Structure 1
Amino acid sequence: MRRSEFDRAVSDEFGARGAYLTSDLVLSACGDRTAAQALSAGVPVRQVWLALCEETDVPVPRRHGAGRLEPRS
């Protein structure tokens, strides 16, 4: 997962709450850091996305493939 895909996935899943969640919600799976802190510290983007999903109870089917653009026809 790329950072741009992470940003898209957060926006798609959480809407306006996404910015708040990435900057304020502490993720235990990321060393008790926020998503923003974890990303800055070099934690892999996919790991941060999955930790955010786990912490906010995003259903498993919506976690995988999130943030990817639809292929061009």
Structure 2
Amino acid sequence: MNRQAPLSLFNPPTYPFYVFSETIDEAEFLLDQVPPPSSDEDPMVTKLRTKLSDLLGELRKGAEGTLQ
């Protein structure tokens, strides 16, 4: 039997994709989930890939131990 805990602030639902990323690892994971670029892909996928790449770049710029 698979029992699930009731939803609360301390037990939020999980989804296959997060809407917002807060860490470099999360951003890299999300970017890895986007299929490789192709000539016939949906423009929304291209936009998502670009946004995730930009997010990853911004997170890396502000990371500890990076040279600026």
- TM-score normalised according to structure 2 size: 0.27
Q: Which has the higher strand share?
A: 1
Q: Which has the higher helix share?
A: 1
- TM-score normalised according to structure 1 size: 0.26
Structure number, greater radius of gyration: 2
